[in-house]
Amino acid sequence: MTEDVNKNKEQQEEVDTTVATETSTEGAEVEETVETEETVAETEEASEEVEETEETTEEEESIEESVPTFTGEVDGKTYTFDQLQAASEDYTDEEFHELAGMYENTLSEIEEKEIVTGIVVSVDEKYVIVDIGFKSEGIVQANEFSDKVLENLAPGDEVEVFLDKVEDREGQLILSRKKADILQAWENLENSYETGEVIEGYIQRRIKGGMVVDVFGIDAFLPGSQIDVRPVRDFDAYVGKTMEFQVVKLNMQAENVVVSHRALIESDLEDQRQEILETIEAGQVLEGIVKNITDFGVFIDLGGVDGLLHITDLSWGRVEHPEEIVKLDQRMNVAVIDFDEESKRVSLGLKQLQPHPWDEIYEKYPENMRVQGRVVSIADYGAFIELEKGVEGLIHISEMSWTQHIKHPSQLVQKDDIIECVVLNINEDEKKISLGVKQLEKDPWEDLLDRYPIGSSHKGEVRNLTNFGVFVELEPGIDGLIHVSDLSWTEKVEHPNEVVDKGQEIEVVILAVDFDNRRITLGHKQVQENPWEKYAEEYGIGSKVEGEISKITDKGMFVKMDLGVDAFLAGSKLKESVEDLKENFSEGDKIEGYVVEFDESSKTIELSQDEDDVKKRKPKSKKSPQKSEDIETGTPTLGEVSGLADKLAEKEKNSEN
């Protein structure tokens, strides 16, 4: 082994000497011959040292490994240095020199930091030995190759590696498969970016704002907006997919790569979009896909062109939200309602593909027909009922009950209730239908007079009190009003609560019925006879009366007379002038006087103790309200008789004068 090593060294030095000798000038031949002789001497000394020191087999193998194996390509064939030496015996010195020069030229072409092609010499679990045509072979870590490539790699295969360094400190050729892949990947990306070439990538994972894509072993960023022309709702569904992309942004220094899949789709749709825009017109029916849903409508992808399907054009019926009708990614037919050529906006409709629900409305919903519908909306004035999609009717609050006092429709119905009602009338021009609920029952006012004839007495419950009167419920839903003036014959009532309380049961008389306005006039005082007719007889003008003082004021005294009515005696009408009435009179004292004023309408009787004052007054009396029987028979009332008497007295006085 040692002798072979020495022999190789001597042969290499002889080749070097021969090449140098043939290429030098004659003047330099002598010098190089001397250098050759010195070199040979040094080689012999080195050989002797090797023979002395290399005694063991391990030392021989070490030296054998330290000797580089040289290869080169000549005339398209690859030769090792040993093969060149062996071939030198078959060539002249000039031919061998030419071959050696060609071999050296191959060595000089190899440069660092470049991708080179090499031949696989051997493959094991840890290393791959690659011959790149240099004076020594290079070692590549096996883990720099993918598992798939490593499984199929065999000696003699060509591989591309990155020449990191020609020699390290130990004289080893430094190669890298990983760096070669990365550099090649960046070159491919740069080429794709410049040419627009479509590349494939594997979506690895989702990150904020988009996805990470493996392209040629390099992580690229795929923004969420660049995945598809339609908004992406499930990013995770794309993880693990291999898709085609286009490089839209590249910064090699910052190692920043941005790719887009949407750009490919848009380019494919551009031709289709132009074709649609050139042929689209109102009335067309097109197929599209639901791209996006908003509160006001739906965006439909017609194939590169987006159209808006407004919520009002989704259905002839009421739609609260478009999601009630359509779903994302749903494929559907739509009608083109309008197309704006300048803005390229397309208005679409869905309900236009269905017959109008108001066609033949009178045949479907004749008047007085009982129908069922769903309460879709409630307002202060009534409830809207959907009879079918696109056909709604209104139940006015006044048509909800014959008897109940409904202040708001929510007292009777709630939204989404299914109720039965009656068709009252239809206005086709205004697309309105009037409905009623109370018509499902008999109108209690139809035979009201049979139950409550005029003049009949009934008992009812005080339901409400107002300043002007009392509402009394005769039966559920049937109320009547007692005016404040009809509460008492004798007392002057300022407010009904002076006489009755809410919830109290009182007796009333039916005075009048207004069917048009559905009002009943009641009376409470009419339950008893009118005492003023008797008062007029007992307390006529000039009558002397006696009563009991019931109340004293600064101006006079109220006197309770025998029949129970109060009369007023002013302080100025006393026989004797009194400065302070309360010091001279007390409640309960008896007092006498003459009737000088009798007014039934205002329920007042005035007294006086001055006889001269009585003589000055003309006997008269206010008319009393006529009784119902007086109106029917024409019999004059007591008030009318008193009036006639006044007129006769006045005539007699005038005749005397």
> For 202-226, b where at least 16 C-beta lie within 10 A, e where not — what string?
ebeeeeeebbbbebbebebbbebeb
In terms of average pLDDT, the best of 80-94, 165-179, 418-432, 475-489 is: 418-432
Residue 109: which pLDDT band, with cuts at 50, 70 and 90?
Answer: low
Q: What integer pLDDT is reported at residue 86 of this predicted model?
A: 58
Would you say the C-alpha torsion 140, 143, 145, 147 has a positive or negative sign? Answer: positive
Q: Please provide the average confidence, as pLDDT, over all residues in the chain.
A: 75
pLDDT digits (tens, 9 = 90+) for 462-497: 999 999 999 999 888 788 999 988 888 777 788 998
C-alpha dist (Å) from residue 469 to 403, 453, 478, 531, 600 = 20, 22, 16, 22, 21
Using a 10 angstrom Cβ sphere, with 0-12 exposed, 13-18 middle and 19 or more buried, the burial of residue 110 is middle
Residue 81: which pLDDT band, with cuts at 50, 70 and 90?
Answer: low
pLDDT digits (tens, 9 = 90+) for 524-574: 888 877 777 677 767 777 778 888 888 888 888 888 877 677 888 888 888
Nearest of 536, 545, 367 to residue 439 by alpha carbon: 367
pLDDT digits (tens, 9 = 90+) for 19-55: 333 333 333 332 333 333 343 344 344 444 434 434 4
| DSSP state at residue 170 | T
Which of these ranges, 137-146, 245-254, 611-620, has the smallest mean pLDDT?
611-620
Average pLDDT of the residues in 214-223: 87
Q: Pairing relation of β-strands 519-523 and 370-379?
A: unpaired
Nearest of 498, 495, 604 to residue 558 by alpha carbon: 604
Give DSSP secondary structure letters for 59-82.
HHHHHHHHSPPPEEEETTEEEEHH
167, pLDDT greater than 90: no
Q: Pairing relation of β-strands 331-340 and 306-310?
A: unpaired
Nearest of 437, 452, 496 to residue 471 by alpha carbon: 496
Q: What integer pLDDT is reported at residue 89 of this predicted model?
A: 58
In terms of average pLDDT, the best of 85-94, 500-509, 594-603 is: 500-509
Which two structure tokens, joined as six digits, stand for 119? 């031949």
310, pLDDT greater than 90: yes
Share of the chain above pLDDT 70, in %: 70
Interhelix angle 81-88/93-108, nearest 10 degrees: 170
Tokens 């300043």 map to which residue?
467
- Residue 469 has, within 13 A of its CA and on its CB side, a CA count of 15
223 residue type, one letter: P
* Helix/strand/coil for 327: coil
423, pLDDT greater than 90: yes
Which two structure tokens, joined as six digits, stand for 505? 């049961």
Q: What integer pLDDT is reported at residue 360 of this predicted model?
A: 87
| DSSP state at residue 232 | P
Residue 170: which pLDDT band, with cuts at 50, 70 and 90?
Answer: low
Average pLDDT of the residues in 221-235: 83
* Helix/strand/coil for 625: coil
> For 579-597, b where at least 16 C-beta lie within 10 A, e where not — what string?
eebeeebeeeeebebbbbb
Using a 10 angstrom Cβ sphere, with 0-12 exposed, 13-18 middle and 19 or more buried, the burial of residue 456 is exposed
- Residue 127 has, within 13 A of its CA and on its CB side, a CA count of 10
Using a 10 angstrom Cβ sphere, with 0-12 exposed, 13-18 middle and 19 or more buried, the burial of residue 165 is middle
582, pLDDT greater than 60: yes
Give DSSP secondary structure letters for 285-301.
EEEEEEEEE-SSEEEEE
* Helix/strand/coil for 368: coil
Would you say the C-alpha torsion 293, 294, 300, 306 has a positive or negative sign? Answer: negative
Of 217 and 614, the structure prediction assigns the larger pLDDT to 217
pLDDT digits (tens, 9 = 90+) for 605-657: 888 877 777 766 655 444 444 443 333 333 333 334 334 434 434 544 444 44
Q: Cα–chain-centroid distance for residue 252? A: 43
Q: Evaluate whether 328 touches 334 at the Cβ level (below 8 Å).
A: no
Count of Cβ atoms closer than 10 Å to residue 142 Cβ: 15
Tokens 């069917």 map to which residue?
515
**pTM for the structure as a whole:** 0.43
Q: Evaluate whether 401 touches 412 at the Cβ level (below 8 Å).
A: yes
Q: What integer pLDDT is reported at residue 385 of this predicted model?
A: 94
